[in-house]
Amino acid sequence: MGTKAYSRPITLALLVTFAVAMTAAQTQAETGREGWLRYARIGQTGTASFQHERIKVYGPGESEVMRTARRELVHGLKEMLGPNWVHSGIVPGKFLLGSLQQMQWFHPPLGIEAEGFWLSLRKCEGQACVVIVGGSDRGVLYGVFEVLSKLARVENVRGLEETQNPANPIRWAEEWDNLDGSVERGYAGRSIFFDAGEVRRDLTRVSEYARLLASVGINGCNINNVNANPRTLQRDFLPQIARIADAMRPWGVRIGMSVDVSSPKTIGGLETFDPLDPKVAAWWQSKTDEIYKLIPDFAGFVVKADSEGRVGPSAYGRTPADAANVIARALKPHGGVILYRAFVYNHHLNWRDPKADRARAAYDIFHPLDGMFDDNVVVQIKYGPIDFQAREPVSPLLGGLEKTNEAIELQVTQEYTGQQRHLVYLAPMWTEVLNFDLSRADRRLDPREAECRFASEWCVKNLVAGKTFHRPLGGMVAVVNVGLDENWLAHPFAMANLYAFGRLAWSPELDAQRIFEEWSQLTFGNDPAILKVATRIAMASWRAYEDYTGPLGTQTLTDILGSHYGPGIESSEENGWGQWHRADHLGIGMDRSVASGTGFAGQYRPQLAQGYESLETTPIELLLFFHHVPYTYKRPYGKTVIQQIYDSHYQGANEVAMFVRDWRALKGKVDEQRYNEVLAKLEYQAGHAIVWRDAICNYFLKLSGIADEKGRAGHFPDRVEAETMQLRGYVPVEVTPWENASGGRAIECHDEHGCSVSFKFAKVAGRYEIDVEYFDQNNGESKFRLYLNGLLLDEWAGTANLPATNIGGDSSTRRRVHGVVLKPGDEIRIDGVPDGKEPAALDYLEIFSEPQ
Ligand code: GCV
């Protein structure tokens, strides 16, 4: 062994047994700030699967990334194995890390790519040692994280021998952060990058974020909103951007920036931003050169243009290819790339026109340009043709570019999937999309089946990786939108989505459940009881959310004009945004067939197009995305559409109630802080799922006039509407839209001293659960007190941070009190005290019998 290859060996001496064991100290409070990189102490019982007497870490210290790799390895080992270690410097190494060139004498296998790594358990000077060889320094770092992950999950590494290469060259996190510190569609606090128009002085969180990203192989981070502020490109601002690059560089994460294509005019002083004007090209060149002087490893730009009010090349009659190429050519000498978003559409569509269809836009605009983009341009395509809905067909554009690099765009931030107040594990959806075969010769159009078993070249994962058409670039990006919240994404489980995104971008072959299990073990420890419950909840969560929000391909029936959060069924209709479901009293769905509709189905390759064209062969999950049908339509042996709407909403809401029950079983197993946080969020979600369920069922019951054959929709025998109770100070109000409150009405208090509402219990004596449905706005903190015969049962304040300044589906919230013993004639009273603009509003009480 040539010691010269290793500078500065670090030796950890200790007796360690990596064993199949329970992780200790689960009950200490944890904030979630470490994410899945907690390196919790590994218990040392059981049989050794991997034993060390001394652990020695070698690793050349020349580059920043290599230093990071070694530090991380030492840190992880120390945390997991205990502080009881010493430097020795004498004992032969047990962990050896280095790049391919440095480790040639180990004869690494062929095929380790630049960002890949090789892990091997070898004998070094007579003793077992783990060899980590990277195709580059970044590869070494990724290898270190992989080893640490295996150890943390107590994986048997005795026969360790594996090579891993990332499937996708581009693996970027994108952040929609604004310079003022807000984050567009961010739900976890303010920007970690910016504040008050400047880059934050303290970038500790940025470095910590880069560490999390690197640990799952993410190699780029686009730091600002695609609705870009040209200020970021100004000469006096660029040194600030360079500080962000400095904070992320040690983790091998290169930064990118969103740019506005009008910058040559808005900040460059030119009279035009026409991409074909040589002055504009010169401006981009000199601006890009300026950036690379400060940030030599700058990754590139992301562009949103001609979309949602952003200007673009259409202003000069130019194409997205013209706009992309002028910037690409400026980046080319520096090795940078441009990600040009295919999210280009007209949001002033004529909703009366049955042929108009937003879903068509990306393909209509970009498919004809195939082959016209430079080689360092990547067209960034949202997974579906609309906009991050809980269910959409796979974007046909993903199969519509053969001579152009492409990347798929996913969303970790849960804009349309519950905004991290709802637990929704998204990897099952993503793997379904990645495994979707856009050629689909068969007619089994069940999107839940992984169609790519035979590695078809038309599988989305192969297309985006650039494999199908041998493209030089390709990949996966996700809009993440972390914030300053201690746990990054507000909901502890939301981090599973970030983790899964990284893992899938690295290896789209991975299975969503397996990824979740990894994350759960790293995040909550190796207790099988936790693993089982967390996995069950996570794996059921996407389907449950889809069920209680908008099934059968109607998209998420949310308020698309505002928060994108609670129910807002009519908000998508009769406007130019094109998220139409076209429901009327006879039927629902958008006809996108070629024969009679918008023709969108024809954008797919022939066999798939044929499948979507027909009502009978369209998968049930997408039925209403492709077809307008009467509520009474049903498949042979199936249910009517209306009954499916009722059933799925009840099914989805019941499923979330089960999540609460299941999670409760983990009390004492998960540390208290995260246990309580998750429980509170699940309880809230269970209540909000009922708000969704009722809004949609009641709405379609009224619209269709067809009863729920199970008698649930519109019937609430346990409910007492607030407006029917005895009111003291409270006043009844109409709620808009009506379906977002029970009975369409609620009560508000406008007396600063408070109001009161009461009624006499009239059911049989017994033990009950009382649910109070109230409205929690973000512009006040009303107080509520619940009394039974004058005795205080419960009190709370409306302090949740919901996206609502008035009463409705965004603010409707449930408070649950268990185990209340009631008898006929008991008086139940609620006192409400308004605060700020929040009127202590109440919707109803629901009183359910509980087992004795
Ligand atoms: C950054 C959706 C979101 C917008 C977002 C846009 C996009 O429409 O609601 O906030 O803008 O997508 O992806 O550009």
Residue 387 is among the residues annotated as catalytic for this protein = yes
Ligand 1 pocket, 174 CB below 6 A? no
Query: For residue 16, how far is its CA from the centre of ligand 1 (angstroms)?
Result: 50
In the predicted model, is pLDDT for residue 491 greater than 70? yes
Ligand 1 pocket, 117 CB below 6 A? no
Q: Give the nearest ligand 1 atom to 185 CA.
A: 10
- Mean pLDDT within 282-289: 98
In the predicted model, is pLDDT for residue 169 greater than 90? yes
Residues near 721 by beta carbon (within 8 Å), at least 6 away in sequence: 742, 743, 745, 843, 844
Give the model confidence (pLDDT) of 85-94 as tens digits: 443 332 224 7
When pLDDT is cut at 50, 70 and 90, the band that residue 459 belongs to is very high
In the predicted model, is pLDDT for residue 734 greater than 70? yes
Give the model confidence (pLDDT) of 21-64 as tens digits: 334 344 556 899 999 999 998 764 333 334 444 556 666 667 99
> Which pairing describes strands 117-124 and 127-134: parallel, antiparallel, or unpaired?
antiparallel
Three-state secondary-structure class, residue 519:
helix
Give pLDDT, residue 439: 86
Residue 308 is among the residues annotated as catalytic for this protein = yes
Q: Give the nearest ligand 1 atom to 382 CA.
A: 13
Ligand 1 pocket, 277 CB below 6 A? no
Secondary-structure breakdown of the chain: helix, strand, coil percentages, each rounded to the nearest 5: 35, 20, 45
Amino acid at 146: E
Q: Whose CA is nearest to atom 12 of ligand 1?
A: 387
Mutation pick for ligand 1 pocket among 174, 178, 185, 344 (CB with most ligand atoms within 8 Å): 185
Q: Give the nearest ligand 1 atom to 307 CA.
A: 14
Catalytic residue among 387, 406, 409, 721: 387
Radius of gyration for the chain, computed over Cα atoms and rounded to the nearest angstrom: 28
User: Rounded to an integer, what distance in angstroms lies between the CA atom of residue 769 and that of residue 847?
Assistant: 6
Token pair belonging to 499: 């983790």
Ligand 1 pocket, 184 CB below 6 A? yes
Catalytic residue among 30, 115, 374, 415: 415
User: Rounded to an integer, what distance in angstroms lies between the CA atom of residue 590 and that of residue 604?
Assistant: 17
Ligand 1 pocket, 387 CB below 6 A? yes
Percent of the chain with pLDDT over 70: 91
Give pLDDT, residue 82: 65
Ligand 1 pocket, 185 CB below 6 A? yes
Other CB atoms within 10 A of residue 509 CB: 14
Give pLDDT, residue 453: 58
- Mean pLDDT within 698-717: 98
Mutation pick for ligand 1 pocket among 176, 222, 383, 575 (CB with most ligand atoms within 8 Å): 176
- Averaged confidence pLDDT in the chain: 92
Catalytic residue among 308, 370, 486, 781: 308
Give pLDDT, residue 6: 35
In the predicted model, is pLDDT for residue 95 greater than 70? yes
In terms of Cα–Cα distance, which of 342, 393, 388, 334 is closest to 367? Answer: 342
User: Rounded to an integer, what distance in angstroms lies between the CA atom of residue 557 and that of residue 580?
Assistant: 10
In the predicted model, is pLDDT for residue 372 greater than 50? yes
Ligand 1 pocket, 362 CB below 6 A? no
Which of 449-453, 460-464, 635-639 is the most confident on average?
A: 460-464
Query: For residue 508, how far is its CA from the centre of ligand 1 (angstroms)?
Result: 25
Residue 824 backbone dihedrals phi, psi, to 5 degrees = -55, 140
The DSSP secondary-structure symbol of 592 reads -
Ligand 1 pocket, 347 CB below 6 A? no
Ligand 1 pocket, 302 CB below 6 A? no
Give pLDDT, residue 356: 97
User: Rounded to an integer, what distance in angstroms lies between the CA atom of residue 835 and that of residue 780?
Assistant: 5
DSSP string, 394-413: PPGGGGS-SSSEEEEEEESS
Query: For residue 580, how far is its CA from the centre of ligand 1 (angstroms)?
Result: 17
Ligand 1 pocket, 712 CB below 6 A? no
In the predicted model, is pLDDT for residue 619 greater than 90? yes
Give pLDDT, residue 21: 33
Mutation pick for ligand 1 pocket among 302, 308, 559 (CB with most ligand atoms within 8 Å): 308
Is residue 163 within 8 A of residue 54, CB to CB? The reply is no
CA distances from 127 to 37, 77, 91, 277 (A): 28, 18, 10, 66
Query: For residue 633, how far is its CA from the centre of ligand 1 (angstroms)?
Result: 34
In the predicted model, is pLDDT for residue 7 greater than 90? no
- Mean pLDDT within 759-786: 98
Q: Which pairs count as long-range contacts for 319-323, CB under 8 Å and 24+ apart, including other chains?
A: 319/369, 319/372, 320/344, 320/365, 320/366, 320/369, 321/369, 321/372, 321/373, 321/377, 322/275, 322/276, 323/261, 323/275
Query: For residue 225, how far is its CA from the centre of ligand 1 (angstroms)?
Result: 9
Give pLDDT, residue 48: 38
User: Rounded to an integer, what distance in angstroms lies between the CA atom of residue 627 and that of residue 620?
Assistant: 11
Ligand 1 pocket, 226 CB below 6 A? yes
Give pLDDT, residue 127: 72
Q: Give the nearest ligand 1 atom to 176 CA.
A: 1
Give the model confidence (pLDDT) of 235-272 as tens digits: 999 999 999 999 999 999 999 999 999 999 999 999 99
Residue 766 backbone dihedrals phi, psi, to 5 degrees = 165, -170
Ligand 1 pocket, 605 CB below 6 A? no
Q: Give the nearest ligand 1 atom to 409 CA.
A: 13
Query: For residue 415, how far is its CA from the centre of ligand 1 (angstroms)?
Result: 9
Percent of the chain with pLDDT over 90: 84
Ligand 1 pocket, 176 CB below 6 A? yes
Ligand 1 pocket, 171 CB below 6 A? no
Query: For residue 590, how far is its CA from the centre of ligand 1 (angstroms)?
Result: 22
Ligand 1 pocket, 304 CB below 6 A? yes
Residue 449 is among the residues annotated as catalytic for this protein = no
Q: Whose CA is nearest to atom 11 of ligand 1?
A: 227
Q: Give the nearest ligand 1 atom to 225 CA.
A: 1
Query: For residue 119, how far is its CA from the centre of ligand 1 (angstroms)?
Result: 41
